[in-house]
Structure 1
């Protein structure tokens, strides 16, 4: 009976291992998630493995010759407990499949909008202005943004780190 197992892959070679295993006829699954990163000063949405360097594989250990998996490019070996490959319950894999993001042909890399839209009222939660309300204006570089703060009867434009504000 086929079961799911977990393979440990070499660093940054999960896709290579997945491709080589598919060529050998094995059914594999690598759960992916969409995250927002800062790349070269811009926010980008990218799809990355949920568990870097790990890959689920479905096979029947009693019937199939799984020793060839150790010499597959990109694969280090099985995750083992007590010297035997550990079985991953089917419901765990199915739950991950439901939540996994599928990769698009362009690599799913694109500019991501800012966490806040211009004109959004935010609260400053850290720093010398903590507790004050401000209006989000625009992002500024990798980790900073401009907000408009009412001070002395007019709006002042201040540049603060984005982690210092919340909606």
Structure 2
């Protein structure tokens, strides 16, 4: 199945995805399927001195449509939902995302609807090592680290347009070697 990017009214990502999923049942056949993804990210925010986890859209104003239907059927489908604006590049030229973009999206989609925070170790000179989570092995796409807000800025190119978004991180202390820990505990005894 090919992956397409659909622009929707900001704030209506989940509503639009649900509505399109309901309507898509009318065009689904044995050879034509539609799956919609509205990805969220988990961020830690601070409000009134309290820290809490919130869910926010990964790409505000965009959802991902996975389908093997003809593009005419897809265009007919989105025209029935007022909050669905257009396909990227344009409705007249509905093109799926490129293979390398699709690989990145599928990597993010494997975590489900909510992309969890990545566990990272911050090293000297603003270097970052992701030890667990969706950004593991993708340190090269991280633009900026905001240690205080516990998030990183990631830059991807989708349909020839650069997209930047923040993903939450959990900063952990680097592990020391077992011998150093044993030596340290032996001195105190």
- TM-score for the superposition, normalised by structure 1: 0.52
1:30 maps to which of 12, 17, 38: 38
| Deviation (angstroms), 1:102 | 3.2
| Residue among 15, 32, 43 paired with 2:51 | 43
Aligned partner of 2:107 in structure 1 is: 95
| Pick aligned residue for 1:71 from 76, 80, 102 | 80
Q: Structure 1 stretches of 5 or more lacking a match?
A: 104-142, 144-166
SS in 2 for 1:95: helix
Distance 1:102 1:14 in 2: 13
1:16, 1:73 within 8 Å by CA — same for their partners in 2? no
Given that 2:37 and 2:113 are in contact with CA atoms closer than 8 Å, whether structure 1 keeps it comes out as no
Larger Rg: 1 or 2? 1
Give the 3 Å change call, closer, same or farther, for CA 98–41 of structure 1 in structure 2. Answer: same
In the other structure, the counterpart of 2:162 is none
Q: Aligned in 2, Cα 1:37/1:24: closer, same or farther, shift over 3 Å?
A: same
> 1:23 and 1:55, CA in 2 relative to 1: closer, same or farther beyond 3 A?
same
> Residues of 2 paired with 1:86 and 1:59: CA distance?
12
1: CA distance, partners of 2:49 / 2:95: 42
For residues 56 and 21 of structure 2, what CA distance do their matches in structure 1 show? 19
Instruction: Name the Cα RMSD after superposition.
Output: 2.9
| TM-score, normalised by the number of residues in structure 2 | 0.46
* Distance 1:63-1:10 versus aligned 2 partners, 3 A rule: closer
User: Hey, which bits of structure 1, 4+ residues long, moved more than 3 A?
Assistant: 99-103
Match of residue 119 from structure 1:
none
